[in-house]
A and B are shown apart, each in its own frame.
Chain A
Protein backbone atom coordinates (compact mmCIF):
# COMPACT_ATOMS: atom_id res chain seq x y z
CA UNK A 1 0.00 0.00 0.00
CA UNK A 2 2.86 2.30 0.87
CA UNK A 3 4.58 1.19 -2.29
CA UNK A 4 1.77 2.54 -4.39
CA UNK A 5 2.08 5.94 -2.80
CA UNK A 6 5.80 5.79 -3.48
CA UNK A 7 5.09 5.27 -7.15
CA UNK A 8 3.05 8.46 -7.28
CA UNK A 9 5.72 10.36 -5.40
CA UNK A 10 8.30 9.02 -7.80
CA UNK A 11 6.18 10.31 -10.67
CA UNK A 12 5.66 13.70 -9.05
CA UNK A 13 9.23 14.71 -9.89
CA UNK A 14 9.64 16.32 -13.36
CA UNK A 15 13.18 14.95 -13.86
CA UNK A 16 12.00 11.43 -13.12
CA UNK A 17 9.08 11.78 -15.52
CA UNK A 18 11.54 12.93 -18.17
CA UNK A 19 13.75 9.89 -17.51
CA UNK A 20 10.74 7.64 -18.11
CA UNK A 21 10.04 9.42 -21.39
CA UNK A 22 13.69 8.97 -22.44
CA UNK A 23 13.86 5.25 -21.78
CA UNK A 24 10.40 4.68 -23.24
CA UNK A 25 11.89 4.67 -26.75
CA UNK A 26 14.98 2.57 -25.96
CA UNK A 27 16.87 0.96 -23.07
CA UNK A 28 19.70 3.25 -21.92
CA UNK A 29 22.68 3.13 -19.57
CA UNK A 30 22.85 5.48 -16.58
CA UNK A 31 25.56 7.45 -18.37
CA UNK A 32 23.48 7.93 -21.50
CA UNK A 33 20.51 9.05 -19.41
CA UNK A 34 22.62 11.46 -17.35
CA UNK A 35 23.98 13.03 -20.54
CA UNK A 36 20.49 14.46 -21.13
CA UNK A 37 20.46 16.41 -17.90
CA UNK A 38 22.41 19.29 -16.46
CA UNK A 39 22.18 17.82 -12.98
CA UNK A 40 25.10 15.82 -11.61
CA UNK A 41 25.55 12.14 -12.34
CA UNK A 42 24.95 11.12 -8.66
CA UNK A 43 21.64 13.03 -8.70
CA UNK A 44 20.54 11.16 -11.82
CA UNK A 45 21.67 7.89 -10.20
CA UNK A 46 19.49 8.67 -7.21
CA UNK A 47 16.52 9.25 -9.51
CA UNK A 48 17.21 5.95 -11.28
CA UNK A 49 17.41 4.18 -7.94
CA UNK A 50 14.03 5.56 -6.86
CA UNK A 51 12.42 4.64 -10.20
CA UNK A 52 13.89 1.13 -10.00
CA UNK A 53 12.82 0.64 -6.38
CA UNK A 54 9.21 1.40 -7.17
CA UNK A 55 9.48 -0.86 -10.24
CA UNK A 56 8.81 1.78 -12.87
CA UNK A 57 12.22 0.94 -14.34
CA UNK A 58 13.90 -2.43 -14.83
CA UNK A 59 17.60 -3.13 -15.07
CA UNK A 60 19.01 -5.33 -17.80
CA UNK A 61 22.57 -6.58 -17.78
CA UNK A 62 24.12 -6.49 -21.28
CA UNK A 63 27.75 -7.51 -21.17
CA UNK A 64 29.45 -5.17 -18.70
CA UNK A 65 26.77 -2.50 -18.91
CA UNK A 66 23.51 -2.12 -17.05
CA UNK A 67 20.67 -0.79 -19.18
CA UNK A 68 17.50 0.77 -17.83
CA UNK A 69 14.16 0.19 -19.50
CA UNK A 70 10.49 0.75 -18.68
CA UNK A 71 8.53 -1.84 -16.76
CA UNK A 72 5.39 -1.84 -18.92
CA UNK A 73 3.29 -3.68 -16.31
CA UNK A 74 3.89 -1.07 -13.64
CA UNK A 75 3.48 1.81 -16.05
CA UNK A 76 0.12 0.44 -17.10
CA UNK A 77 -0.92 0.17 -13.49
CA UNK A 78 -0.21 3.83 -12.73
CA UNK A 79 -0.99 5.22 -16.16
CA UNK A 80 -4.50 5.48 -14.83
CA UNK A 81 -4.28 9.15 -13.98
CA UNK A 82 -7.68 9.06 -12.34
CA UNK A 83 -6.45 7.38 -9.17
CA UNK A 84 -4.69 10.38 -7.56
CA UNK A 85 -7.58 12.61 -8.63
CA UNK A 86 -10.06 10.16 -7.14
CA UNK A 87 -8.09 10.05 -3.89
CA UNK A 88 -8.17 13.82 -3.68
CA UNK A 89 -11.96 13.82 -3.92
CA UNK A 90 -12.29 10.84 -1.60
CA UNK A 91 -10.36 12.68 1.11
CA UNK A 92 -12.37 15.83 0.53
CA UNK A 93 -15.66 13.94 0.82
CA UNK A 94 -14.44 12.13 3.97
CA UNK A 95 -13.88 15.57 5.43
CA UNK A 96 -17.38 16.65 4.41
CA UNK A 97 -18.84 13.58 6.10
CA UNK A 98 -16.94 14.26 9.32
CA UNK A 99 -17.77 17.95 9.37
CA UNK A 100 -21.48 17.21 8.92
CA UNK A 101 -21.51 14.41 11.50
CA UNK A 102 -20.05 16.84 14.04
CA UNK A 103 -22.51 19.48 12.94
CA UNK A 104 -25.37 17.02 13.42
CA UNK A 105 -24.34 16.02 16.93
CA UNK A 106 -23.73 19.62 18.00
CA UNK A 107 -27.18 20.64 16.76
CA UNK A 108 -29.10 17.83 18.39
Chain B
Protein backbone atom coordinates (compact mmCIF):
# COMPACT_ATOMS: atom_id res chain seq x y z
CA UNK B 1 0.00 0.00 0.00
CA UNK B 2 1.32 3.42 -0.84
CA UNK B 3 2.05 5.63 2.14
CA UNK B 4 -0.10 8.72 2.28
CA UNK B 5 2.29 10.66 4.46
CA UNK B 6 5.89 10.81 3.30
CA UNK B 7 8.79 12.06 5.35
CA UNK B 8 12.20 12.78 3.90
CA UNK B 9 15.12 13.35 6.25
CA UNK B 10 18.13 13.99 4.07
CA UNK B 11 21.51 13.03 5.50
CA UNK B 12 23.40 15.94 6.96
CA UNK B 13 20.50 18.40 6.64
CA UNK B 14 18.90 19.78 9.79
CA UNK B 15 15.40 19.65 8.36
CA UNK B 16 12.51 17.34 7.50
CA UNK B 17 10.17 17.43 4.56
CA UNK B 18 6.71 16.07 5.38
CA UNK B 19 4.33 15.62 2.45
CA UNK B 20 0.73 14.47 2.45
CA UNK B 21 -2.09 14.38 -0.07
CA UNK B 22 -5.66 14.88 1.11
CA UNK B 23 -9.06 14.05 -0.37
CA UNK B 24 -10.10 17.60 0.39
CA UNK B 25 -10.32 20.85 -1.56
CA UNK B 26 -7.32 23.02 -0.70
CA UNK B 27 -9.66 25.59 0.92
CA UNK B 28 -10.81 23.02 3.47
CA UNK B 29 -7.29 21.78 4.12
CA UNK B 30 -6.19 25.34 4.80
CA UNK B 31 -9.19 26.01 7.03
CA UNK B 32 -8.13 23.08 9.24
CA UNK B 33 -5.02 25.11 10.08
CA UNK B 34 -6.59 28.54 10.17
CA UNK B 35 -9.54 28.09 12.54
CA UNK B 36 -9.01 27.41 16.22
CA UNK B 37 -11.97 25.10 16.66
CA UNK B 38 -10.99 22.86 13.73
CA UNK B 39 -7.29 22.85 14.63
CA UNK B 40 -8.21 21.82 18.15
CA UNK B 41 -10.37 18.98 16.88
CA UNK B 42 -7.80 17.25 14.69
CA UNK B 43 -4.71 18.05 16.75
CA UNK B 44 -6.46 16.72 19.85
CA UNK B 45 -5.31 19.69 21.90
CA UNK B 46 -6.86 22.83 23.32
CA UNK B 47 -6.16 25.96 21.27
CA UNK B 48 -5.77 28.81 23.76
CA UNK B 49 -4.91 31.36 21.11
CA UNK B 50 -4.73 31.42 17.32
CA UNK B 51 -4.21 34.65 15.44
CA UNK B 52 -4.20 33.59 11.79
CA UNK B 53 -2.42 36.59 10.27
CA UNK B 54 1.11 37.86 9.65
CA UNK B 55 2.77 38.69 13.01
CA UNK B 56 0.11 36.61 14.76
CA UNK B 57 0.72 33.90 17.32
CA UNK B 58 -0.71 30.72 18.76
CA UNK B 59 -0.77 28.71 21.97
CA UNK B 60 -1.72 25.05 22.40
CA UNK B 61 -2.31 23.10 25.59
CA UNK B 62 -3.28 19.51 26.40
CA UNK B 63 -4.39 18.37 29.85
CA UNK B 64 -5.35 14.97 31.21
CA UNK B 65 -8.74 14.19 32.76
CA UNK B 66 -7.49 15.51 36.13
CA UNK B 67 -6.54 18.84 34.60
CA UNK B 68 -2.77 18.30 34.76
CA UNK B 69 -1.06 19.98 31.82
CA UNK B 70 0.68 17.33 29.69
CA UNK B 71 1.78 19.45 26.78
CA UNK B 72 2.13 23.13 25.97
CA UNK B 73 3.34 24.63 22.73
CA UNK B 74 3.39 28.06 21.14
CA UNK B 75 4.65 29.91 18.14
CA UNK B 76 4.61 33.02 16.01
CA UNK B 77 3.01 33.24 12.58
CA UNK B 78 5.21 35.09 10.10
CA UNK B 79 3.43 34.58 6.79
CA UNK B 80 -0.23 33.80 6.30
CA UNK B 81 -1.49 33.58 2.71
CA UNK B 82 -4.96 31.95 2.56
CA UNK B 83 -5.01 28.63 0.68
CA UNK B 84 -1.30 28.93 -0.12
CA UNK B 85 1.09 29.15 2.77
CA UNK B 86 1.75 29.56 6.45
CA UNK B 87 5.22 30.22 7.84
CA UNK B 88 5.46 29.87 11.58
CA UNK B 89 7.68 28.92 14.49
CA UNK B 90 6.91 26.07 16.88
CA UNK B 91 8.15 25.64 20.42
CA UNK B 92 7.29 22.81 22.79
CA UNK B 93 7.42 24.30 26.26
CA UNK B 94 9.31 22.75 29.19
CA UNK B 95 11.17 20.27 26.99
CA UNK B 96 14.39 22.20 26.52
CA UNK B 97 13.98 21.67 22.77
CA UNK B 98 14.89 24.70 20.66
CA UNK B 99 12.32 26.56 18.57
CA UNK B 100 11.75 25.14 15.08
CA UNK B 101 10.77 26.92 11.90
CA UNK B 102 7.94 25.51 9.78
CA UNK B 103 7.13 26.35 6.16
CA UNK B 104 3.70 25.02 5.21
CA UNK B 105 2.70 25.05 1.55
CA UNK B 106 -0.83 24.21 0.47
CA UNK B 107 -1.42 23.12 -3.12
CA UNK B 108 -4.51 22.38 -5.14
CA UNK B 109 -4.30 19.08 -7.05
CA UNK B 110 -7.90 18.89 -8.29
CA UNK B 111 -11.21 20.38 -7.10
CA UNK B 112 -11.34 17.75 -4.37
CA UNK B 113 -7.73 16.91 -3.73
CA UNK B 114 -4.87 18.89 -2.25
CA UNK B 115 -1.32 18.54 -1.03
CA UNK B 116 0.44 19.83 2.05
CA UNK B 117 4.21 20.24 2.09
CA UNK B 118 5.71 20.98 5.44
CA UNK B 119 9.37 21.86 5.66
CA UNK B 120 10.56 21.83 9.27
CA UNK B 121 13.94 23.40 10.06
CA UNK B 122 15.62 22.48 13.36
CA UNK B 123 18.39 24.28 15.24
CA UNK B 124 20.85 21.46 14.58
CA UNK B 125 21.15 17.94 13.21
CA UNK B 126 21.21 16.62 16.77
CA UNK B 127 17.86 18.23 17.52
CA UNK B 128 16.37 16.65 14.41
CA UNK B 129 17.54 13.20 15.52
CA UNK B 130 16.15 13.83 19.00
CA UNK B 131 12.73 14.80 17.60
CA UNK B 132 12.65 11.75 15.34
CA UNK B 133 13.24 9.47 18.32
CA UNK B 134 10.53 11.08 20.41
CA UNK B 135 7.55 8.99 19.24
CA UNK B 136 9.43 6.00 20.65
CA UNK B 137 9.59 7.62 24.01
CA UNK B 138 6.41 9.64 24.14
CA UNK B 139 4.04 8.27 21.53
CA UNK B 140 3.43 5.07 23.40
CA UNK B 141 2.96 6.81 26.72
CA UNK B 142 0.45 9.17 25.17
CA UNK B 143 -1.47 6.25 23.70
CA UNK B 144 -1.55 4.70 27.16
CA UNK B 145 -2.80 7.94 28.70
CA UNK B 146 -5.57 8.14 26.15
CA UNK B 147 -6.51 4.53 26.76
CA UNK B 148 -6.58 5.27 30.48
CA UNK B 149 -8.93 8.21 29.92
CA UNK B 150 -11.28 6.06 27.85
CA UNK B 151 -11.24 3.34 30.48
CA UNK B 152 -11.95 5.89 33.20
CA UNK B 153 -14.97 7.14 31.31
CA UNK B 154 -16.34 3.59 31.15
CA UNK B 155 -16.19 3.22 34.92
Residues on A lying within 8 angstroms of B by beta carbon are 8-9, 11-12, 81-82, 84-90, 92-101, 103-104
Contacts and interface: CB of A to CB of B under 8 A. Distances in A.
B24 A93 contact: no
Secondary structure at the A interface, as helix, strand, loop or mixed, is: helix
Nearest to B25: A104
Interface residues of B, number: 31
B28 to A, nearest CB: 5
A95 B28 CA distance: 13
Contacts of A85: 7, 131-132, 134-135
Contacts of A84: 135-136, 139
A104 B44 CA distance: 19
Contact of A100 (B38, B131, B132): B38
B134 A100 contact: no
A82 B18 CA distance: 11
B29 A100 contact: yes
Given A86-B5, A90-B5, A95-B44, A12 B140 contact: yes
Contacts of A81: 129, 132-133, 136
B23 A86 contact: no
A87 B32 contact: no
A93 B140 contact: no
A107 to B, nearest CB: 10
B22 A99 contact: no
Contacts of B38: 99-100, 103
A94 B3 CA distance: 12
Nearest to A100: B28
A9 B137 CA distance: 10
B13 to A, nearest CB: 13
B48 interface: no
Contact of A96 (B18, B42, B139): B42
B29 A82 contact: no
A37 to B, nearest CB: 20
Residue of B7, B43, B129 contacting most chain A CB atoms (<10 Å)? B7
A82 to B, nearest CB: 5
A101 B41 CA distance: 13
Contacts of B41: 95, 99
Contact of B9 (A82, A88, A97): A82
B4 A90 contact: yes
